Chains A and B, each alone.
Chain A
Amino acid sequence: MRSSYWFRYLAVGVACALTLAAFVQWQIKDASEDAVARGLQFDLSWTGTNGRLEKTELEKFVAKYAVTGEQHYADQAQLFYQVLQSRLNTWDAGGFRVFLERSPGRIERFDELTALVRGLRDEFANLSDPKAQQTILDTLELASPLINRLGGEAHTESIAEAADVRERLQERHFLDNVLSVGLIAVSGLLLVAMTFLNHGLRQAHRRARDSADAFAHQARHDALTGLPNRFAFGEALKDAVGSAEIGQPMALFVIDLDGFKPINDALGHAAGDELLQSVAERIRRASSRWAPCCEVFRLGGDEFTVLLKDECASQKVFERANDLLAELRKPHRITAGNIIVDATIGIARSGRVMSGCDEIFVDADLALSRAKALGKGIALEYEPSMHAELRRRSEIEAALPLAIHNGEIFPHYQPQVDMISNRIVGVEALARWCHPNLGWISPVEFIPIAESSGRICEVGQLILTAACHDAMRLQADMRVSVNISVAQLMRYDVVDLVKEVLARTGLAPGRLKLEVTESIFMKDGDRIFATLRALKGIGVGISLDDFGTGYSALSYLQHFAWDELKIDRQFVKTLEAEEHSHHIVDAVASLAGRLGIPVTAEGIETREQHLMLRARGCKFGQGYLYGKPMTFDALNKVIQEDLRSCRDIPTYSVV
């Protein structure tokens, strides 16, 4: 970090400065203590002055004695002679001696002085003698300049030393000051540095906290719409369920957009994103109108949830869901234009049978699936039966593999008759499943499950093999139609498989017709057509089943040489009631006729229908009128009867 660099330098600098300061302080202390100690040694000036005074006193007393002859003066003179000698002795030792020794001139003067003074011993022994008195005074006069000089030097030295000491102390004081100022400056600098550092730290902390907050937000919110995401939903749901267990009601809407994928594919992801944002905003606005406690989440893709609590969850739940649907149905304004999407809502509420978190979500999801199956664009509340449905679905799915293995799945056959000759010309093989526990499971139920669980190929292969095998036990001119799914057709080896079955059972390819529905062309139409052509190539016939429903395209008729067209039962059913059905059947039959494709009508139940369809050119018919789907044995019996009798319209009610 930038600040840590300069701080490091600062720290090093400060450490150095402090070390230096400590060292300097230590040095000064020693030196100045030394100087001060020296200063206290000895007061040169004082002793020097005293010496001069004592000499003067001596001179005085000797002179006075000489003048007056009074004994007390003589006594004083003797005393001061001793005193002067003492003074000189004092000078010859200790600190004064050191001072003397500093200059050879001084030593000389001192020695001379001492000699002069000591030399007066005899004179003082004979003090009453005027000659002695004179000698003393003369000698003392000689001694005067010496002692004065020494005294003067002592004084000067004393002053000098004092000055020296003062200078040293001043120096020390100055350095102390410098150190103090320096330390204060350094402290100030450190304080400033700390402020910066603190500022930097606080900034970093703030940045880290902001970053953490942002991450936390990101982790719990969807980037595109800003709504809380799946993770946040999980937690909120757990919370709400917990509250529900102690009596606070909650409700859950699971919202799915209808037809979002096509829009995304058609207009691009940018448009899709915009749409999602608009949807999210609308849901959010709607829910906030109900109560602040309603939370909206985006689970991903085009799936949203709304979590309702308290009064929102106990009253007007259904109304709210429908309001929301109405809101969402209004056009969304995006860059690409105005888009309308529909939505489906699955509702689940607490207070119904529920145990644990996931359950309520699963319930709402089931309701959603059911709503979608019922036609989308609606809101549906979960019912326990939906759960039963799911359970049954799971059971079937689980039972499939075993069923395939155990031969619980096998074909029933429904006869197809020639409309004119009224004879049975072929059969359609229809998958049936008899489960030991669940009983008969209708193909309407298990075929989609087989498709979604990836077992359809096995089932298809099973039925195909069984049908071919059984066909061999029919008359040589009977043909068998078997439904084939898109999953089977997408396999690269489908042609080989069919060939192999034909070879194994020995059925002539021309007797086999494979029925496909238009929905197979949703994916990879070209490839499917190629496969169909290949199948035709080995001699098998191809029928287009349920014509007119779902994704009909007349171009399918153009691209391929179909061997049969089967009109869906819904047209046959309404033949008598609605005129339009007539026209449609007419058109299809005529069209097929011109293309040279024979037409089979499915779901014929009445004689009238039979006649009408025959009149319109349908070649073959299939339906309850001629016979319901039946076991192979029953079929055989029916065919025998058919052969024996030649009734007008064969009607068999054999189960």
Chain B
Amino acid sequence: MKQALYIAVFWAISLLLPASALRADDAVILTVDGKLAANHPVDFTRSQLEAMPMNTIVTTTPWHDGAITFEGVPLSALMKHVGATGNRAVVFALNNYSADIPVDEFDAYEPILALKRNGEYMPISDKGPLFVVYPFDQYPELKNELHYTRSVWQVRAISIE
């Protein structure tokens, strides 16, 4: 079911695919489905996401040198926005990678779905367009394999179960 969905979505998007990795502001970059208030998947464009309240996390990561400033939508806000009722969020990436995150963690640690890295939008070649960023420096207990796997980049969809 999900695969079909993705194919459909990607196919829709691919019509607008330029050589550049940057999507146009009105292209859907995130689809949220599953146990939502609405009974259908919800799409978001970049501007729609940016319309929501944004948070900033400054942290070091294993994939970067030094501390990076990430700006994005707190996942807890996103869940509220879509009226999520499940307790598990499966995050899918463009490269077929996926990770399970308990919804509780969104409230506990306030990870964000980052849009900007050091003030610039992230292309696909730089882990964009969306990157799940945990405040690793703020909560050192997050510095383990589990949370590194949950720190998904090139996010395309989130399923609430």
Contact = CB atoms under 8 A, between A and B. Distances in A.
Interface of A: 40-43, 46, 50, 53-54, 57, 71-72, 74-76, 78-80, 82-83, 85-87, 89-90, 93-97, 124-125
Nearest to A58: B95
12 contacts: A40-B145, A43-B149, A53-B96, A72-B14, A75-B10, A75-B11, A86-B124, A86-B153, A87-B95, A89-B127, A90-B127, A124-B19
Contact of A82 (B125, B143, B148): B125
B95 A50 contact: yes
B143 A40 contact: yes
A50 B96 CA distance: 10
B140 to A, nearest CB: 10
A75 to B, nearest CB: 3
Which of A50, A53, A94, A124: most chain B CB closer than 10 A?
A: A94
Which label, helix, strand, loop or mixed, suits the secondary structure of the A interface?
helix
Interface string B60-87: 0111110000000000000000000000
Given A43-B145, A72-B10, A78 B65 contact: no
A85 B143 contact: no
Interface residues of B, number: 29
Given A78-B17, A85-B125, A86-B154, A40 B95 contact: no
Given A72-B14, A82-B123, A93 B65 contact: yes
Contact of B127 (A41, A46, A78, A86): A86
A95 B124 contact: no
B154 to A, nearest CB: 6
Contacts of A83: 94-95, 124-125, 154
Interface in B46-71: 61-65
Which of B10, B143, B148: most chain A CB closer than 10 A?
A: B148
Given A53-B95, A54-B95, A82-B21, 19 more contacts: A40-B143, A42-B148, A43-B148, A43-B149, A46-B149, A72-B14, A75-B17, A78-B17, A79-B10, A79-B17, A79-B94, A80-B95, A82-B124, A83-B154, A85-B125, A86-B127, A89-B125, A93-B65, A94-B64
Contacts of B4: none
Contacts of A74: 14
A42 B136 CA distance: 13
A327 B96 CA distance: 125
Nearest to B153: A86
A82 B153 CA distance: 13
Contacts of A125: 19
Which of B11, B124, B127: most chain A CB closer than 10 A?
A: B124
B64 to A, nearest CB: 5
A80 B94 CA distance: 8
A41 B140 CA distance: 12
B115 to A, nearest CB: 16
B6 to A, nearest CB: 11
A71 B14 contact: yes
B51 to A, nearest CB: 26
A124 B19 CA distance: 8
B9 to A, nearest CB: 11
Nearest to B65: A93
